[in-house]
Amino acid sequence: MSTPAQHERLAAEFGGRQVLDERDIARALTRIAHEIVERNKGADDLVVLGIPTRGVPLAHRFAACIADAEGVSVPAGSLDVTMYRDDLRLRPARALEHTDIPAGGVDGRVVVLVDDVLFSGRTIRAALTAVEDVGRPRAVRLAVLVDRGHRELPIRADHVGKNLPTSMRESVKVMLQEVDGRDAVVIAEEQP
């Protein structure tokens, strides 16, 4: 559990304010995992795919929460969307991430795409196209830790940890233990 001093240090480090700590994130993930199981009427035929970078550890955490609650192992993997993005020519070159589709694939199953922040919707559009290349799921659902608004495409999450209305001048930084050494969500003012 974070102390107020740790919150202040983290917020100062990123020039913003901490809006979620490790306990908040754990609660949100547990709630979303239960929502996923409830909507699916069980854990059968679920496949959880995280979008790199931070969506991957979140996907594995969801799979672990579902396994704890249901006693059923849920396959989790990753889905690289880099080559499916519509802004490749506008951004600097990126290293390709690893796509790891669990054994059994996605055909006829319910795929839960997982990302850390939902913003414009363009990453999710790319993920939907990437899913088409790996199979034909029965359904695709979206789970995100943070929905910050500002959609440019008609995409919405089925499961949201926290809605954080932001201005376009702000950024949302998600930190996870597996990648950053700690769990937190910070909103910071963008530097001009």
Assigned token pair, 83? 């080559």
- Domains in the chain, number: 1
State the CATH number of the domain containing residue 50: 3.40.50.2020
CA atoms within 13 A on the CB side of 23: 4
pTM score, whole prediction: 0.90
DSSP letter for 43, please: S
Whole-number Cα distances in Å, 50 to 3, 4, 78, 95, 175? 30, 31, 5, 17, 15
The reported pLDDT for the residue numbered 16 is 86
Q: H helices of the chain, where? A: 4-14, 22-40, 55-70, 122-134, 177-180
The reported pLDDT for the residue numbered 89 is 63
Q: In degrees rounded to 5, what are phi and psi of residue 26?
A: -60, -45
- Measured in whole angstroms, the distance separating CA 161 from the mean position of its chain's CA atoms is 10
The reported pLDDT for the residue numbered 178 is 97
Assigned token pair, 70? 């249901």
Residues of the chain with pLDDT under 50: none
Judge whether 120 and 151 are in contact, CB under 8 Å: yes
Judge whether 81 and 127 are in contact, CB under 8 Å: yes
What domain range includes position 108?
A: 4-189
CA atoms within 13 A on the CB side of 172: 25
Q: What is the pLDDT of residues 11-53, one digit of tens each?
A: 556 568 999 999 999 999 999 999 999 999 999 999 999 999 9
Task: Annotate 1-28 with b (16+ C-beta within 10 A) or e (fewer).
Answer: ebeeeebeebbeebebbbbbbbebbeeb
The reported pLDDT for the residue numbered 8 is 61
The reported pLDDT for the residue numbered 57 is 98
Identify the CA nearest to 170 among candidates 142, 149, 145, 144: 149
